[in-house]
Chains A and B, each alone.
Chain A
Amino acid sequence: MSEDEKFDAIIIGAGPAGSACAYTLAKDGKEVLVIEKGDTPGSKNLTGGRFYTYALEMLDADLLKEAALERKVTHEQLMMLSGDRGITIDYYDPSFNQKGHTPVSYTILRASFDEWLAGKAEEMGAVVVCGVKVDGLIEKDGMIVGVIAGEDEMYADVVIAADGVNSLIAQHAGLINDIESHTVGVGIKEVIELSGKTIEERFNLKPGEGAARMILGCTDGIHGGGFLYTNQESISLGCVLMPEEAAERKISVHEVLQNLKMHPAVYPLLEGGHTVEYGAHLVSEAGFRGIPKKLYRDGFIIIGDAAGLVINTGYSIRGIDLAIVSGIAAANAVIRANDTASVGPAYITELENLKLIPTMKATDGFFEILETPWLYDKLPNLGADICAYLYREDGELPGSIKKDILKLVKANGLSVFQLAKFGLKGVRSL
């Protein structure tokens, strides 16, 4: 292809969404150009992170064998912190990781995963250009026909924005407005290096096994939470907070993470480790209602985080898998559509077929549940109070458990009615 000819598709961003899309298109023989702002794919990206394997199998089952992954998640954990107290629930289920079956999810470090996946797209024939920032879109007769990068213009039948949360390209195209502070969390994370053996001992893991932990009650009462993932030879520890609340209460996000690290129930897990990475990123928190009204224009579609495809249920967070699925959906749409105008509608159909939009819709109720303010301070404190009550013995005559627990509920500023209402709301909205 000569330089002046146009590509079948230009993809902006070589994250999981962009690379999955490029891989699928290139495999079909399409001429694809991927433009990545970072010096290497993944160098500007951040995740908690965990990755659900079904998405990679959907892309190409062979890829899973050689993917740059860390540990298969065998231990699902939930931690509630209150003051210097902590409750940890550890769910172990061998059926998630049966021999001969693909493990459900792996822990992951984005810098290596993204670079690997972009490399796979390149092997398939996609042209991947790194270190180049796309400055704008070229519009002709109401259609997007190409991109502008510095002094260069490049043309394509379809431009696909995979430039992540707060997509500037989708803003250029007029599909989304500037970011609204209550729809995003700010996530910060440290990668703390420890030997694989130490990690396995501290988390009760066999070699290759990993733990994924969500942490409640570590955010000073701000809407948000912490996370901890065990990698091969490091621990990813971080938290996500609503920046608006943190700013109102003049709480620094860094301080929240620092306090989490020093918590007496967390510090022994990290002791002796070295922080090798510190990063921050925005996270879409709005779920289904955060998806832009329109995901396409003529000649233009948005995928992955740029399209708001993130699910936070409180007990797990998904984004990378949804990004890959949306990339596949976009590629299928480009491959199957007869003309540029039908790519957008075909993309929406594909998103429905691949169950992506229905999944987002089904988990929409979590948004309201997670808006409940007492989830982030009073509930973890009540949990700790109940444990303290149940486990403390002093040789005295036990009181009525029911009465005493009701007292604790009241002492925490909550009521049975409130808890029951919350439970009912939870059942209804899901």
Chain B
Amino acid sequence: MSKTIVCYKWVKDEADIKVNPDLSVDLSKAKGKISDYDKNAIEAAVQAARLLAGKSIGLTFGTPKTKQSLKDALSRGLEEVCWINTEAAAEADGIVTSKALAAAIKKMDDVSLVICAEGASDTYARQTAPRLGALLQWPVITSVSKIQINGDILSASRKLDDCIETVKVKLPAVIAVLPEICNAPIPGLKAVMAAGKKPIAEYQAGDIGIDFTSKSQVSGLKAYAMNRKNIILEGDTSEKIASLVAALKKEGVL
């Protein structure tokens, strides 16, 4: 049976992240959540699987804490989830993440479509989908705002800077979707209850058989504070406009 895989990431809830006065970042009180854009991607996968008359499967690569996400993912309509459980995920860069996900995807048969969100709500690095395509040697379509599926042909609308591009590919393929691809409804009572009974496949680092060493390492994390000029312009309206123009020219903005 055809399988649609959706990759999702368990991220820190940005609402709980605290910036200290010295601009250091306090993540200690931040709870986890499924990256917001991934919720739309999950719903897109559920709908795509229906069109392909197949199964929708969630796939996540994370630390043991990611376990909390599995029930939430399943309550969103996926039929199964697959979890690569390793502490190494905390330090993983784009290459390691994509290799781990690709290795898990290769273990599954009949995969027609892999869906990722365009970027995760923490880093928004936009690397996973293109790298997955390269590793699987499948075509990749990014910035997808709409899809149609006809047999084994998927046509996607790509939202670019100044136009909409329509692209067709033969499945299997990897797509990176924008949040507007579809709404992410809040799961209902029965959906949440049913989630507890759905199958979960768990892989340990050893099952995946890749090198988890990241080539890039995070050496520091600091908040960014906007330096404002705090200039108050005085005088009547025409004087204010004149000094505003002068100030903007001085800054090289005009």
Q: Which residues of A contact B (CB under 8 A)?
A: 3, 33, 35, 40, 127, 129-132, 149-152, 154
Contact = CB atoms under 8 A, between A and B. Distances in A.
Interface in B172-230: 186-190, 192-194, 196
A20 B239 CA distance: 69
A127 B196 contact: yes
Contacts of A150: 188-189
Contact of A131 (B31, B192, B196): B192
Contacts of B193: 3, 33, 127, 129
B189 A154 contact: yes
Interface of B: 31, 186-190, 192-194, 196
A152 B188 contact: yes
A152 B189 contact: yes
Contacts of A33: 193
A40 B188 CA distance: 15
Nearest to A130: B192
Contacts of B187: 131-132
Nearest to B18: A276
A3 B190 contact: yes
Contacts of A149: 188-189
Contacts of B196: 127
A18 to B, nearest CB: 15
Contacts of B186: 131
B77 to A, nearest CB: 14
B42 to A, nearest CB: 15
A33 B187 CA distance: 16
Contacts of A129: 189, 192-193
B41 to A, nearest CB: 19
A3 B189 contact: no
B189 A35 contact: yes
Nearest to A40: B31
B80 to A, nearest CB: 18
A35 B189 CA distance: 8
Nearest to B194: A3
10 contacts: A3-B190, A3-B193, A129-B189, A132-B187, A132-B188, A132-B189, A149-B188, A150-B188, A154-B189, A154-B190
A255 to B, nearest CB: 27
A112 B188 CA distance: 25
Nearest to B31: A40
A154 B192 CA distance: 13
Contacts of B189: 35, 129, 132, 149-150, 152, 154
A137 to B, nearest CB: 14
Contacts of B188: 132, 149-152
Given A130-B192, A131-B192, 10 more contacts: A3-B190, A3-B194, A35-B189, A127-B196, A129-B192, A129-B193, A131-B186, A150-B189, A152-B188, A154-B189
A127 B188 CA distance: 14
A131 B192 CA distance: 9
Contacts of A154: 189-190
A33 B196 CA distance: 12
A42 to B, nearest CB: 12
Contacts of A35: 189
Nearest to B191: A152
A368 to B, nearest CB: 44
A379 to B, nearest CB: 41
Contacts of B190: 3, 152, 154
A130 B187 CA distance: 10
B33 to A, nearest CB: 9
A296 to B, nearest CB: 24
Most buried by B among A35, A131, A149, A154: A131
Nearest to B192: A129
B24 to A, nearest CB: 15
A114 to B, nearest CB: 14
A86 to B, nearest CB: 31
A43 to B, nearest CB: 10
Most buried by B among A33, A127, A152: A152
A195 to B, nearest CB: 14
A121 to B, nearest CB: 14
A127 B31 CA distance: 22
A156 to B, nearest CB: 13
A417 B111 CA distance: 88
A130 B186 CA distance: 11
A3 B198 CA distance: 13
A127 B189 CA distance: 11
A142 B190 CA distance: 25
A40 B190 CA distance: 18
Nearest to B29: A276
A211 B31 CA distance: 29
Nearest to A131: B186
Nearest to A115: B31
Contacts of A130: 192
A35 B191 CA distance: 13
A154 B194 CA distance: 13
B27 to A, nearest CB: 15
B194 A132 contact: no
A150 B31 CA distance: 27
A149 B192 CA distance: 12
A127 B75 CA distance: 14
A153 to B, nearest CB: 9
Most buried by A among B188, B194, B196: B188
A272 B81 CA distance: 47
A35 B192 CA distance: 10
A175 to B, nearest CB: 23
B224 to A, nearest CB: 21
A340 B31 CA distance: 41
A273 to B, nearest CB: 14
Nearest to B21: A274
A154 B190 CA distance: 8
A62 B20 CA distance: 38
A300 B60 CA distance: 42
B123 to A, nearest CB: 23
Contacts of A127: 193, 196
A333 B196 CA distance: 28
A154 B188 CA distance: 12
